[in-house]
Structure 1
């Protein structure tokens, strides 16, 4: 039985890889990575994140100036159309994967009871 489950999981993975959502996300990623300005922004951001992580691991608190530098670079990245487009489609794809996971969980545990918002 566990072999069948793994086989079905593999089939699900293949279906996801063939989906328009996945293909579009990969196309947007390739376009972003082909853009020199986008890659430079991403690399600067990753370098900054790494250096700040190393500082935190050494027990150093980040200064307000360092935090502002991160926020400014994040804003600049999200103003780049290819980065912004990829980030949005990647977020949408992650939501889709969460839905898939919710359906798997529902298959295991049964339907979740509806939550009522009102109080009586």
Structure 2
């Protein structure tokens, strides 16, 4: 009997969507998006974050001014309780995805040994 890895992946997607962690993340995301002030702060934060990641990936230098702007943006979003709750939920979901990834990668690690 052939195993379809994609069927298992889609089943995992369904289970993730049904998880309490995902439901909490979605709820916090909806709360932030329903508040124009919080949404504006969060969108600006994400924009700054993505620009810096893009520059890093392209090997471009990040200026001190950009670092300062990013730090100010982080401080602003962390002061907003709605965004802080969303970021905590994102962090929990990210940890779970990381743990799931470790489980998924286990056969390759056993075959090749842990990549250092």
For the criterion TM > 0.5, the same-fold answer is: yes
Identify the residue that residue 17 of structure 1 maps to in structure 2: 17
Q: TM-score, with normalisation over the residues of structure 1? A: 0.71
Q: Does 1:94 align with 2:110?
A: no
Within 5 Å, give how 1:1-120 maps onto structure 2: 1=2, 4-46=4-46, 62=63, 64-110=64-110
Aligned residues, how many?
A: 108
1:9 deviates by 1.1
Separation in 1, partners of 2:33, 2:97:
23
Residues 6 and 29 of structure 1, relative CA distance in 2, 3 Å threshold: same
1:81 deviates by 0.4
Residues 102 and 60 of structure 1, relative CA distance in 2, 3 Å threshold: closer
* Structure 2: 5+ residue stretches without partners: none
- Mean CA deviation greater in 80-89 or 64-73: 64-73
Separation in 2, partners of 1:43, 1:60:
23
CA RMSD across the alignment: 3.1
* Structure 1: 5+ residue stretches without partners: 114-120
Largest Rg, 1 or 2: 1
Q: TM-score, with normalisation over the residues of structure 2? A: 0.73
Separation in 2, partners of 1:65, 1:92:
31
